[in-house]
Structure 1
Amino acid sequence: MRRYAVNSHEAVCRLLALSLLSDGGLDPAELAAVRESRLLAQLGISEPLLQQVLQDLCDDLLQYLPGQAVGHLELDTTLLDRLLAEVDDPALQVKLLRAMLGVVDADGWLADGEAVLISRAMACWQYDWYAVQPIPSQPRTARSVLRS
Structure 2
Amino acid sequence: MRRYAMNSDEAICRLLALSLLSDGGLDQSEYQALRDSKVLQQLGISEVTLHSVMQGLCDDLLLYANGLGQLELDDALIDQLLAEINEPLLQMTVLRAMLGIVDADGWLADGEAVLISRAMACWQYDWYALQPIPTYARMARSVVRS
- Shorter-chain TM band: over 0.9
Larger helix proportion, structure 1 or 2? 2
Structure 2: how far apart are the matches of 1:94 and 1:114? Answer: 17
Structure 2: how far apart are the matches of 1:21 and 1:41? Answer: 21
| Unaligned ranges ≥5, structure 2 | none
- Report the counterpart of residue 79 of structure 1 in structure 2: 77
Structure 1 pair 69–95 and aligned structure 2 pair: CA distance change class (3 A):
same
Q: Say whether the 8 Å CA contact 1:12–1:87 is kept in structure 2.
A: yes
- Report the counterpart of residue 26 of structure 2 in structure 1: 26
Task: Please identify the structure whose Cα radius of gyration is greater.
Answer: 1
| Unaligned ranges ≥5, structure 1 | none
The one-character-per-residue Cα deviations of 1:99-138 (angstroms, maximum 9, x if unpaired) are: 0000000001000100000000000000000111134464
Alignment of 1:1-148 (within 5 A): 1-63=1-63, 65-70=64-69, 72-136=70-134, 138-141=137-140, 142-143=142-143
CA RMSD of aligned residues (A): 1.7
SS at match of 1:24: coil
Q: Say whether the 8 Å CA contact 1:19–1:114 is kept in structure 2.
A: yes
What is the TM-score with the length of structure 2 in the denominator?
0.92
Structure 1: how far apart are the matches of 2:107 and 2:60? Answer: 26
Greater shift in the superposed pair: 43-52 or 131-140: 131-140
What is the TM-score with the length of structure 1 in the denominator?
0.91
Structure 1: how far apart are the matches of 2:9 and 2:144? Answer: 47
